[in-house]
Every structure is written in structure tokens, then in C-alpha cells.
Amino acid sequence: MQPKILVIDDEQAILDTIGILLRGEGFEVIALQNGRDAVDRLGEIDPDIVLTDIRMPSISGIEVLSAVRRKDPEVPVILMTAQASLQSAMKAVNEGAFYYLQKPFGNDDLVALCRRAAETRRLATENTQLKREIKRRNGGSVPRPTGKNRGFVDIVKLAETVAPTDSTVLITGESGTGKEILARYIHRLSERADGPFISINCGALPENLLESELFGHVKGSFTGAVRDKDGLLVAARGGTFFLDEVAEMSPALQVKFLRALQEREIVPVGATEQVRIDVRIIAATNRDLEQEIRRGTFRSDLYYRLNVITLLLPPLRDRMEDLPLLAEYFLRAFSADHGSLALELSDEGMAALMRYDWPGNVRELENALERAAIVSKGATIGPEALPGRIKDPTPAPLVSDRPPTNPTLELVERAYILWVLQAEGGNKARAAEVLGIDPSTLYRKLNRYGMSEA
């Protein structure tokens, strides 16, 4: 594949000469007269090498160098100048220039320099790919989400399929289902794995502070803004930005974030100039965004912009076959972190976990097992070490004389299963047939609802 070189000079004659020379030597050449235009198009052009004049009307070659370094520090930048000075040479080196070339220069010297830069770029790319492959083979710092439930496995496979792309991802599911873990897993498998993973919870900050954290601010834009500050969308350059609980964002802030998604530009608080951003966006919410749109609390245009790829994580109660795997994983991790004996659950302890409904999902399970590991007197964890709500749950009534105005889906399901069981005289096989589910699914639901004796 031909090395792609971006040549920037405000003199067309120089561009023409260099273009003819380097194309004849096997380079793909993109020539631009305007440095500002070149900086704006860096993401589109994605050059292997940049060759730029230092003195230009729009922006200087040093500014081009800084922009290239922010986008990809591995791209060699060669600076050209007809007015060389020790000061400018030192500045170029300090900024990370690959070479400082004084005009006029010989054709052979330029070709040899560009070939050396292309080889440097090739080796850097191979090194990055090798590091990424090693990281993937070794499991990286974020493990593959654990589970064998068919629906959950399908979601993880879809996440692995979309990870190498730059598509926006929306992860939905109840609190505690592992949305951030899945987001980090996607980041680790992406082409941005070597870049930062930065997250923010939109529900954790007031609106004005959230805006400043997202977009940054300039000095004096509000009380306490004593200096310019980059926002997290800029800090995540070259990586992934995880926006948790996106439904908590105010309508006014939704408008600004929508523009950032569409234009890939932001305006810091108090600023007038736009700043380009280069991030992959993953958003998450535990709310039904379509319902929030009907209520008027979430913008439909932002929803459709976020909803490119949607991953719905099921609650733990709908993937109880994964609970033993998750429990083993958490206990093994706790033992490794604390240098303790290998921990395991007794049959009675596991039975208690399987009976519980897990409204807090995987996060609640992790916390419960950490607590059990701490208070347990031996390597085997029994029900006595589990929190009281788990080892001795109080079953909720299936029906009530005063049902809630808006019954939950779970309450309706419990009542309906009981009604079908009673209608079929307690015959579970017939009840499962009427309900349209497998008998094993019915038994699991009966255990979950404390109706196994029904």
C-alpha cells in the first residue's frame, strides 16, 4: 500500500513540484495550500506523513504539527522553512517534529527523508497492532462479560461485532446490569483501545457543572473559572467517551450534545470558537427513552442519533443460569485481590442466592458476595454469611386488597401464573403449556416468586 503524505504549502508551485516528485517515488500525495483546511481535514485524510511549511498565512506549521500530534502522535511531521533559525528548530523538536528541513533542499534528500518517515510510521503502526493483539489474547484489563444465557451471549456477540467500528452505541438496562463493564469491553476491542476511556454520570452533577465538565470552559466564564479548562469530550481525544444515565441530561444540554454528535465540534462555556472532537460515543440509560420522548423529557432527534446500535442488557433475574458463573467469578477475584484462600459457596448458600430476586442485579450480587467473603469464618460460604434480605427474604404477596395504581410487570406476571396454575388444578406441565413457556422456565419463575409449592 502506498504511504499517504499530506503536503501543505501556501505556494502552489512548490506543491506541484513536490507532488510530481513524490508520486513518481510511489507516494500517494494530497496537496493543500491552506493550513487551517488541512487541520480540519486530518480525520478525513488520515495521512501517514505530513510535510508542511512553517510560515503560512492561515496558521503556522508549528500549529499544524500540534494538531497532528493531538490526533495521532505516531504520524511523522516534517517541517520546511526558508528562514531557518536555531530558535525555530528547537521549538520544532520540542513539539515533536520528525525533521526540520531548510529550503531549498535536494530532491534526493527529500525522497530519502520521506521514505525514512514512512518506514517509521509503518513500524509504529505494526507495534500498535501487536500491542493490541497481545492485549486481546491476554484478555486485557477488562474481562469478557460472563454468562451463558442465550440472550446475554447474543448481546455480547453483537457488541464484539460493532466494537471495531466508530458507530455510536446505546446500552440500556436496569441499574446494576453491567452497562459500564460492557462499554469498557467495547472500548478494549475497538481501534481506539490505546486511547483513553473517559466516563461521566449525567445524574451525578447539576446542569451547569455537567455542561462545563462535558464541553470545558474559558477563564472568567463563570465564578470560579480561574483558568481555561478542556472538557471531557476533548480529553477523550482518540478514545471512547461513556455517557452514563444520558436520560438525566436537561433538554437544553441535550441540544448542545446533539450538535456535538452531529458536527463533531463543541463550544466551551464562555468561548466563541469551536473545538473539534475525535471520540467514539457510548451512552447508557436505565430508562425507556421512547417513553421519555412521549413525556417530553428527552429529545427524539438525540435519541435517533444515539440509537445507531442498541444493546439491551437483561436483568439478572432473567438470566439466573448465569448466577453460579458470576458468583464463582466474583469470589475468585476477591480471593486474588486479598490473597485469601479460594472461596466457594455451600449448596445452601447457592440455593439462597437462586431464590432471591436481585433487584440490584449483578452489582448487588457482587456486593453481597464481597460482604459474605469478609464475614465468613472459613473458605465455604453458607447462607448465614449472606445479607438478611437474601438468606431470609420476605415473599411479597401475589395479590392485595389494595393493588397499586400502576402494578409492575412482575406483579402482573406473578398473579397471572398463580391464576393459570389454579385453573389447571396445580398441574405445572399443563400450566407451562397454557403460558407458552418451557416447564423449566416455569419452575424457575416459581422458585423466584417463592411459589415452588404452589
Low pLDDT (below 50) residues in the chain: 134, 137-139, 396, 398, 400, 402
- For residue 420, what pLDDT is reported? 83
CATH architecture of 317-391: Orthogonal Bundle (1.10)
- For residue 139, what pLDDT is reported? 47
- For residue 14, what pLDDT is reported? 93
- For residue 437, what pLDDT is reported? 81
Fold of 150-314: Rossmann fold (3.40.50)
What are the distances in angstroms from CA 229 to CA 55, 205, 271? Answer: 29, 17, 11
Tell me the three cell numbers of residue 258. Answer: 446533539
- For residue 425, what pLDDT is reported? 75
Does the bond joining 104 to the residue before it have cis omega, within 30 degrees of 0?
yes
- For residue 133, what pLDDT is reported? 56
- For residue 159, what pLDDT is reported? 95
Candidates 1.10.10.60, 2.60.120.10, 3.60.15.10, 1.10.10.10; CATH matching 395-454: 1.10.10.60
Cα–Cα distance, 2 to 117 (Å, whole number) = 13
CATH architecture of 4-130: 3-Layer(aba) Sandwich (3.40)
Question: In this structure, are residues 160 and 189 in contact, taking their beta carbons and an 8 Å threshold?
Answer: yes
Burial track 29-50 (b if 16+ CB lie within 10 A, e otherwise):
bbbbbebbebbeebeeeebbbb
Closest CA to 311 of 346, 282, 339: 282
Name the pairing type of β-strands 169-172 and 265-266. Answer: unpaired
Mention every residue, 6+ apart, whose C-beta is less than 8 A from residue 97: 65, 77, 78, 79
Cα–Cα distance, 186 to 65 (Å, whole number) = 31
Tell me the three cell numbers of residue 104. Answer: 531549498
